[in-house]
Amino acid sequence: MTELVVARAQMAMLFAFHILFAVAGMGMPVLMVIAERAHLRTGHPVYAELARRWAKGTAVLFAVGAVSGTVLSFELGLLWPRFMEFAGGVIGLPFALEGFAFFTEAIFLGIYLYGWDRVSPRLHLASGVLVALGGILSGIFVVTANAWMNSPAGFTLSGGRPIDVSPLAAMGNPSSATETIHMTLAAFVASGFAVAGIHAFLLLKNRENLFHRKALEIALAVGCTAALLQPLSGDMSARFVARNQPVKLAALEGQFETMRGAPLRIGGIPDVATRTTRFAIEVPKGMSLLAYHDPDARVRGLADFPRDEWPDPIPVHLAFQAMVAGGTTLALVSLVAAWFAWKKREGLFGRRFLIAVALCGPVGLLCVEAGWGVTEMGRQPWAIRGVMRTAEAVTPVGGLLLPFAFFSLLYLGLGAASVWLLRREVAASPFFPAAGDAADPPAPEGKE
Amino acid sequence: MPEPETLSAGCILASLVLYALFGGADFGGGVWDLLGRGPRATDRRRLIAGAIGPVWETNHIWLIVAIVILFTAFPRAFAVVCTALFLPLTIVLAGIVLRGAAFAFHTYRLHEERGAGRWGAVFASASLVTPVFLGVVFGAISSGRIRAAGPLAFTGDVTTWLSPFPISVGFLALASFAFLAAVYLILETSDTGLREEFRRASLRSAAALVFLSGLTLALAAADAREFFRAFTGRSWSIPLVAADAAAAAGAIAFLALRRYPLARACAAGQVSLLLIGWGMAQYPYLVRPDVTVFSAAASPGTMRFLLLALAAGAALLFPAIFFLLRVFKWEAITGTPRRP
Ligand code: HDD
Ligand code: HEM
Ligand code: HEM
């Protein structure tokens, strides 16, 4: 393995780990705030208990998110010093703003967690709202930095250095809108379904526990709302990528030849040697229709681009397929959930629906990983598209295998420890009898 | 009005001072957790965990703020530091991860399984290692050994930090953090027994701090000559060193007299002055002798927006931090700790 490959693998590992906790940091506070608000409104103790438990979970996840995020801010320089030398002055601003969002999050999470008896209920709820806002804003800020790598803007290149830098124009680069919307929704999809999955699983053991019923309702309200919007946002992203980064679109669709009326491929494995994507189910004119909303639109294939500017279509295509498959599944499950919520609330606690939700638990998180795989591997060979290649960005320091192995082991242990702790926490969940539920006011709707 | 470069560098130094005073003390808490033996070890651990719990995440962010300002305002300096100090920085990161995660897990178990536990040990040992390597980084960038001439060239030598001055700065950082923590912790409890224990701990670490300060200065004279000259030979040098020494003496005297709030003020002042002195001696260099705040500066547009963002952020942030401290640390700040 070359040092470059090791550096890329390490970056991928660090991000793949951090993003799980970042997603929780954006989504969990929203769930806990909804539960607390329901408590203030109904006075039912089950909501207070939910808010407390979710807050505890958020705390563990937040701590791991904070330390893994700290690692990232240094690793950007440790692994890619030339990238940072170039980019720091251009996209540093969103990271600085993110720093303030973190502060908001950390300060008010401290108050939320340790302040149940120390501040008034309304101030406590307000702290929760600020935690949620801080989480969402930090996600948005950092994604604008990533969007800039896809669509560099806000500077002029002069002798290999950026001049006339406008940090605001860099943040407002063309990719920012679609990426931040899609990522924010993704965070709600993924955390909503992960939480719903856990509670659905526990409900399968005991259908009568009001604690898990209320938890499931809140988590589904958030997760399903976002999951129904996500395909729309994904469509926006895809259409944007088609115009803005055609080579990425070609890779993610496994399209080698430039053609009009290009088919949509479901499944299939791109084969670079023969320049075909095999074993795919082809929907005629599907891709032209989806990417340009015109069945005869011309789609540029990989062959249209110099060979040394191709991303590797195999992982990009497969990751894209996985994300879309997952997103479609979640959207369908959400439709069923919406129907139950509207027409037949007990249906939400039916055995078959609970099994479906439990199985969907990890799907949102997997979609997030797959989606980032698409974005990042689809940008290769560029670190900053059209400006700096990944190979130019990498550190001259050798022996990267050692820190890579070390951090991998460390994170494996951390991940296992977090899961173990949360499992214990979940296993100790309280029982509230469902009797008298009918007299309860309706469950809170999942407004964000 | 100073140049934007100087202002940005000043903001980094200010973040570092705040990180040392708050985040550093959290590391110091870990040191006392580790050294905690004797009949009251569990009580002491509980006190430390309770004192750090609500605030450590917030305290930790000062380090991130410093890094983010560094790579936004002085991207080249960040690139040079990350390359030349790859190893100590990686160790610092590992320590931060282990300390933070272990602390979070540790507090969870503490409620049910009464202290100790493997997480406690990890928390404590990571608290010991991280400050040392953090200090080494600061020593190394002022030692004058990291060369970074030419546009994108790095010397490729990643062991420049292995010399007496940086290493002694590392231990100085550890002693400072432990000292701060011990002094702060006195005021976190009303238990006289624990107060006395932390008072002894404060005095012991104060002794270590005085010794290491002297040693570091002596080593600087041999190993980091340019830095030594700047630290001792400028117009502000004598007043600053005198003020620092007075603060140290004050801290020790007030500890002896059990006037804890005053001792705490002196301790915080002493550590701040030390760092400020380091920063002033380092100025205008970020990495001696090749990278200055001017040669590494990002474009003026970036600088301007960054400073605006920092000012706006600070205006929102400080009231929030005050609120946090008001809720959780008021008793400790005013010197009237809660009954346990
Ligand atoms: C719960 C997670 C989730 C779900 C259900 C989906 N996505 Fe997604 N997708 C992401 C989570 C995600 C992501 C991880 O958040 C990415 C990575 C970068 C980004 O902006 O969002 C992403 C990126 C991403 C990109 C690349 C954008 C770029 O490189 O600029 C496209 C074209 C799509 N998505 C399209 C879709 C479509 C058509 C979906 C249909 C169902 C879909 N996504 C569901
Ligand atoms: C270059 C990329 C990234 C860097 C440098 C980075 C850096 C950081 C840092 C330093 C923290 C810790 C803040 C604290 O102490 O609380 C953090 C936490 C966080 N990050 Fe990232 N991050 C990156 C990518 C992302 C992405 C892609 C997202 C989401 C879209 C994200 C969302 C968050 C959130 C929500 C938190 C809050 C902590 C939590 O709740 O887990 N980050 N990140
Ligand atoms: C959080 C989800 C993310 C994941 C899972 C992820 C994953 C990856 C992967 C797989 C690579 C290696 C690319 C390859 O070798 O094909 C990479 C590289 C990189 N990523 Fe990301 N990434 C994420 C978000 C971000 C964000 C938000 C930023 C920036 C602000 C970022 C900055 C970088 C940089 C600088 C590199 C190295 C240069 C390059 O390979 O292009 N990433 N990341």
Residue B274: helix, strand or coil by DSSP? helix
Over range A337-350, report the average pLDDT: 87
Q: Rounded distance, CA B321 to CA B2, Å?
A: 27
Q: Which DSSP state fits A311?
A: -
Locate tokens 């890094």: which residue? B67
Q: Rounded distance, CA B82 to CA B88, Å?
A: 10
Q: What is the ipTM of this complex?
A: 0.83
Contact B158 A77 (CB under 8 A): no
Task: Write out residues in chain B with pLDDT < 70, as ranges.
Answer: 1, 36-37, 106-119, 149-157, 332, 335-340
What does pLDDT average to over chain B?
85
Amino acid present at A353: F
- What confidence score (pLDDT) does residue B152 get? 47
For chain B, the maximum distance between any two Cα atoms, rounded to a whole number of angstroms, is 61
What are residue A382's DSSP bridge partners? A389
Ligand 1 contact via A415 beta carbon (within 6 Å): no
Highest mean pLDDT among A25-39, A53-67, B285-299: A25-39
What does pLDDT average to over chain A?
89
- What confidence score (pLDDT) does residue A276 get? 83
Looking at the complex, report in whole angstroms how far the Cα of residue B57 sits from the nearest Cα belonging to chain A.
6
Is residue A86 predicted with pLDDT exceeding 80? yes
Q: Which residue has the higher pLDDT, A334 or B51?
A: A334
Distance A138 CA to ligand 2 centre (A): 7
- What confidence score (pLDDT) does residue B118 get? 64
Over range A224-246, report the average pLDDT: 94
Is residue A241 predicted with pLDDT exceeding 70? yes
pTM score, whole prediction? 0.88
Residue numbers in B near A94 (CB within 8 A): none
- What confidence score (pLDDT) does residue B335 get? 64
State what percent of residues in chain A have pLDDT above 70.
96
- Which range is least confidently modeled, A59-63, A351-355, B12-16, B334-338? B334-338
Residue B75: helix, strand or coil by DSSP? helix
Classify each residue of A154-175 as buried b or exposed e, where b means 16 or more C-beta atoms within 10 Å of its C-beta: bbeeeeebbeebbbeebbebbb
- What confidence score (pLDDT) does residue B154 get? 54
Over range A313-342, report the average pLDDT: 93
Q: Which residue has the higher pLDDT, B157 or A12?
A: A12
What are residue A157's DSSP bridge partners? A162
Question: Residues B81, B85, B174, B214: is their CA dihedral positive or negative?
Answer: negative
Locate tokens 């011990």: which residue? B182
Residue A130's pLDDT band, with cuts at 50, 70 and 90, is very high
Contact A395 B86 (CB under 8 A): yes
**Do residues B174 and B128 make contact, with C-beta atoms less than 8 angstroms apart?**
yes
Residue A446's pLDDT band, with cuts at 50, 70 and 90, is very low
Helices assigned H by DSSP within B85-224: 86-113, 117-143, 164-186, 192-223
Tokens coding A32: 């806990």
**Do residues B61 and A106 make contact, with C-beta atoms less than 8 angstroms apart?**
yes
Nearest to A154 by CA among A142, A141, A166, A162: A166
Q: What is the DSSP string of B5-47?
A: HHHHHHHHHHHHHHIIIIIIHHHHHHHHHHH--STTHHHHHHH
- Indicate which atom in ligand 2 lies nearest the CA of residue A64: 41
Burial class (CB in 10 A: 0-12, 13-18, 19+), A292: middle
- What confidence score (pLDDT) does residue A438 get? 42
Is residue A182 predicted with pLDDT exceeding 80? yes
Residue numbers in A near B53 (CB within 8 A): 110, 114
Contacts of A283 (CB under 8 A, 6+ apart): A263, A264, A265, A266
Looking at the complex, report in whole angstroms how far the Cα of residue B297 sits from the nearest Cα belonging to chain A.
8
Is B293 an 8 Å CB contact of chain A? no
